[in-house]
Amino acid sequence: MAGYIHARTHQNRDQISKAIALAVQTLADALEYTQKQLPDIALLDVNLGHGETSFDFAGMLLDRGVTVIFSTGFYDQRNVPAGMRHIVFLTKPFLAEQLEEALMEALK
């Protein structure tokens, strides 16, 4: 699940670059980490492999007040749960500037 990011952020462009980030490789690692500490924002890869998605994990984070951004190589809104269609999606590959814009949009 590369792409899970833990960030302590502030809602201004200058401070986003100072965010603390943590990437984990598996859903199990992400679940373990979030039992100890919740991020302010999480960047989640939609497709985790073997037909698994990050939507359930995202739902758990959203229920706990965490802002979520999805990244995906292929975006099809029909595959997104209805309650998550408002979430910002980044289509891979994306540029650092696009990530910054997504962070700003998600933090509004």
| Residues 75-95 pLDDT 10s | 777 889 999 999 999 999 988
Q: Which residues of 54-89 are buried (b: 16+ CB within 10 A; e: fewer)?
A: bbebbeebeeeebbbbbbbeeeeeeebeeebeebbe
pLDDT for the residue numbered 49: 82
pLDDT for the residue numbered 2: 43
Please count the other Cβ atoms lying within 10 Å of the Cβ belonging to residue 48: 18
pLDDT for the residue numbered 21: 66
